[in-house]
Amino acid sequence: MAIPSSGIRLEATARHRLDLGGPARLSEPPTARAVAHRLSTDPGRTQARPVLAGDVLALGLLDEVSRLVIARYLELVDASAFERAVIAARDGVGETTERATLAAYASAFPPAAPSPMADGDTLAEVLLTWLANANPAIGPLRTLVDDRPLATVPGAGYRDLVGATGRYFSAAPPFGPDGQDLVTLLRAPALAAPGSLSAQLEWIRDRWADLLGEAGAALLRRLVVGLGVIAEERSRLGLIGAMAGGGGGIGALVGIAAGVGAGVVLLGVEQPRQPVAPEALAQQL
């Protein structure tokens, strides 16, 4: 199987409400700016804190890292891992529930183009979506990948499917520098730095170069660039706050944003509104 690299799957309702294409390469700065602006100016949002493009960028990069780690696992450990996981999950939750859950996921998180996907590929996407939602630093970005409605679809068993997938990999061959099962390995950055998406990227940069291998060299370079962009954005955030006489910080920036009626985005640039293209796990849902 091959894990699609077209970008993070976006929840369909959010895609339409924010006029976004999907999946989206949030790891590209122009896309991150556009998405941050739309989230910051979304009439339906309930949080006063502005959405920073650096956080959107970080979420996209984390998804790309997870996809590469899965690809490395398939290459070096078991090329049929997700096909085997589907069979194990089917045995665990029942074929009817398994198929209903995968179908519900495909509807709630549609691919870029309507084309048949193997069940193993879809299960990998389910896991990636769960990982994003389980990240404690996701904050207001959760609306982009919100899996909570999926958990209430009649006849489906999203939480049970994720739990069964986690149980399969907990008994499968380990991987990575610490010899962890795949799901635990994929969760490691979020558990190591639960308060910040950018801190998770720093953790990956410092610890996973060998894990990502030659295929990850270009991604690591983009990750370093992304961290620089995030640092510049946060520096400007502090500068704007100081200029407002508030001593810097989010509060001052929110005030300025409200005053000019604009979203707060990377480097202060507003973007035009154009479409852009386990048991233990279950307990944590």
Whether residue 165 has pLDDT greater than 80: yes
**What one-letter code names the amino acid at 20?**
L
Give the per-residue pLDDT at 275: 42
pLDDT tens-place string over residues 169-222: 999 999 999 999 999 999 999 999 999 999 999 999 999 999 999 888 888 888
pLDDT tens-place string over residues 276-285: 444 444 444 4
pTM metric for this prediction: 0.82
Mean confidence (pLDDT) of the chain: 82
State the Cα–Cα distance between residues 97 and 94, nearest whole angstrom: 5
- Helix pair angle (182-192, 158-170), 10° resolution: 110
- Min mean pLDDT across 7-16, 162-171, 254-263, 271-280 is at 254-263
Token digits for 202? 């720093």
**Mean pLDDT of the 138-167 span:** 95
Binning the chain into helix, strand and coil, the percentages to the nearest 5 are 65, 0, 35
Question: Which of 173, 183, 152 lies closest to 279, judged by CA?
Answer: 183
Inter-CA distances, 262 with 42, 46, 203, Å = 11, 16, 33
Question: Which of 242, 185, 171 lies closest to 70, judged by CA?
Answer: 185
The answer, yes or no, to whether the previous bond of 189 is cis (omega within 30 of 0) is no
Given a contact cutoff of 8 angstroms between Cβ atoms, the answer to whether 96 and 72 are in contact is no
Token digits for 233? 């954005």
SS3 call for 112? coil
